[in-house]
Amino acid sequence: MKQSSASTTFGAFVRSRRLQSDPRDFGLAAGKRRRTAGLRREELAQLCGISITWLTWIEQGRAASVSAPTLLALARGLRLTRAERDYLFRLAGKSDPAPPSESVGDRLLLQRLVEGFGDPAYVLDRYWDVVVWNRAATRLFPQWLKRSPLRSTEKTERANLLHYVFLNPAARGQVVDWKQRAQRVVAEFRADTASLHGDAMRDAFVADLAKRSAEFAAVWSAERVLAREGGERRFRDSRSRVRRFDQVTLRVARQPELKLVLLISAPRKSHNS
């Protein structure tokens, strides 16, 4: 089987983590007769519940593709840290179907972060549900961010960016050039969630939204892909005034599936210019 550079790098990472694991941490004796400094290959295979042959192929870079369940087994068997686990899935070109959940402290820290920003700011998760947002965002999007998503029971109240754009009538009046912006948002979502292809929750989300919005279904079927580049955004506020912002999107280092979106107020244009 032909080896690729990606599979070779992935295999080398798995092998390095195996060799750097202390057998005593796994309840295994670390006697003098051990030829391997860390875990033996057969020991890791047993810990992960996979065959020695398959693990050998993985470490040798002969595995063309490694499934998400196998990646989960490797992450748990090797007791990888959050950063190592994320790196493992990235090397394999897969999305983690069960990423470590954020702690209450993480959520509070993000909330403090966005509250310290004077302009509208919010954080999106991997499915573009809003995790936290600040008061400025609530004032700008009162029909979208009027309540916590944890308290929402109706599907139409889900604090999701695509739900707001396509299912909330207020969005059509608030988002300037709604049709063009809606098309771009879908193209950005497709690009941002490309690694989630085959993810049950993402597929169910897309299918449900396509049933409820013919416009979304049409745009989604066009299969356009665009990077989330930011730039100028224009919205109408509660007084129907057009407000201009420069949008910046940043990844959260400890949880790269989260995106911090900042809407920085653009300077008002002078009538004399």
Whether residue 166 has pLDDT greater than 90: yes
DSSP track, 192-203: HTGGGTT-HHHH
Whether residue 169 has pLDDT greater than 80: yes
Question: Are residues 95 and 203 in contact, defined by beta-carbon separation less than 8 angstroms?
Answer: no
Please tell me which residue, 122 or 104, carries the higher pLDDT value.
122
Whether residue 89 has pLDDT greater than 90: no
**Per-residue pLDDT at 219:** 94
Spell out a b/e string for 223-251, using b for 16 or more CB atoms within 10 Å of the CB, else e.
eeeeebebeebebeeeeeeebbbeeeeee
Share of the chain above pLDDT 70, in %: 85
| Closest residue by Cα to residue 247 from 257, 238, 260, 258 | 260
Q: φ and ψ at 270, to 5 degrees? A: -75, 140
Please tell me which residue, 254 or 139, carries the higher pLDDT value.
139
Give the amino acid at 145: L
User: If you average pLDDT over residues 118-146, what whole number do you get?
Assistant: 91
Give 6-48 pLDDT, tens digit per residue: 778 889 989 988 988 888 888 777 666 777 678 899 999 999 9
**Per-residue pLDDT at 30:** 62
User: If you average pLDDT over residues 85-100, what whole number do you get?
Assistant: 81
Whether residue 261 has pLDDT greater than 90: yes
**Per-residue pLDDT at 253:** 77
Q: Is the pTM of this model over 0.75?
A: no
Whether residue 262 has pLDDT greater than 90: yes
CA 43 to CA 188: how far, in whole Å?
43
Q: What is the mean pLDDT of the chain?
A: 84
**Per-residue pLDDT at 3:** 59
Whether residue 63 has pLDDT greater than 70: yes
User: If you average pLDDT over residues 108-121, what whole number do you get?
Assistant: 90
**Per-residue pLDDT at 273:** 43
**Per-residue pLDDT at 151:** 40
Q: What is the CATH number of domain 5-92?
A: 1.10.260.40
Instruction: Choose which CATH entry (1.20.140.10, 3.30.450.180, 3.30.420.40, 3.20.20.70) describes domain 104-265.
Output: 3.30.450.180
The domain segmentation of the chain, as residue ranges, is 5-92, 104-265
Give 180-221 pLDDT, tens digit per residue: 999 999 999 998 888 776 677 788 889 999 999 999 999 999
| Closest residue by Cα to residue 101 from 216, 227, 254 | 254
